[in-house]
Amino acid sequence: MDGGDCAQSVFKKVDYVTSAAQKKQQLKILLVERLERQGVEQAQMSGFFRELEKLLSGLPDVTLPAVNARLHYLGWGGVTLDYHSMELAAVCLGDW
């Protein structure tokens, strides 16, 4: 492999990484927008993510009804997650 081919390969990899990072950022924005529609205010977002991350990391096979029941028990009664928001959270929360 000559220098030109190697440089081209590296640039493709960098482009992929940048693209993946941008996609991850877009998923985070989508998650925040969905949560705002479901009742989480912007000022509460970090606390909500903290609780949700504890819940999802402690019980990886937890069901949506169990997540909502636990969130309501913790005082997030005005928030009811839907399946898509929970899946987005599971993907995004490790980076928050």
* pLDDT tens readout for residues 2-51: 545 545 554 555 556 667 788 888 899 999 999 999 999 999 999 999 99
Q: What is the pLDDT of residue 56?
A: 86
CA nearest 71: which of 26, 63, 96, 87?
A: 63
Q: How confident is the model at residue 91 (pLDDT cuts 50, 70, 90)?
A: confident
Residue 96: predicted pLDDT: 47
How many CA within 13 A on the CB side of residue 34? 16
pLDDT tens-digit map of 55-73:
888 887 889 999 999 999 9
Helix (H, G, I), strand (E, B) or coil at 81: coil
